[in-house]
Amino acid sequence: MTLALLIHAPTAAALKRARSNLRNFLKAEPGAKVELVANGEGALEALSLPDADTDAYLVLCENSLKAAEIIAPGGMRTVGAAVHHIALRQSEGWAYFRA
């Protein structure tokens, strides 16, 4: 069975923890599916401080970016609403972890 984990980072501090959690999780489960969903301050922080190790797993909330009048750079994965994406993943059996 492949583990699937969604790590949620709604604040700048949570994003820092989430990146560390993601690294540690993948060391323990290298074949796992994982996403780091950032919204609110977390999404803005992700754009301000990129991280080469974890940005491939990053999913940004478009609602949060629109509220801050920011457009995600090309190549960054976005979803309309983080809350909707989280609910969808949970309905698909993904585990939820709030950093």
CATH of domain 4-98: 3.40.1260.10
Residue pair 86/8 in contact by the 8 Å Cβ criterion: yes
pTM, whole model, 2 decimals?
0.95
Whether 62 and 84 have beta carbons less than 8 Å apart is answered as: no
For the chain, give every domain's residue range. Answer: 4-98
* Distance in angstroms (rounded) separating the CA atoms of residues 74 and 25: 27
Structure-derived torsion over alpha carbons of residues 60, 64, 67, 69, reported in degrees to the nearest 10: -20
**Distance in angstroms (rounded) separating the CA atoms of residues 93 and 76:** 24
CB 57 within 8 A of CB 34: yes
| DSSP-derived 3-state class of residue 15 | helix
Q: pLDDT of the chain along its 99 residues, tens only?
A: 899 999 999 999 999 999 999 999 999 999 999 999 999 999 999 999 999 999 999 999 999 999 999 999 999 999 999 999 999 999 999 999 999
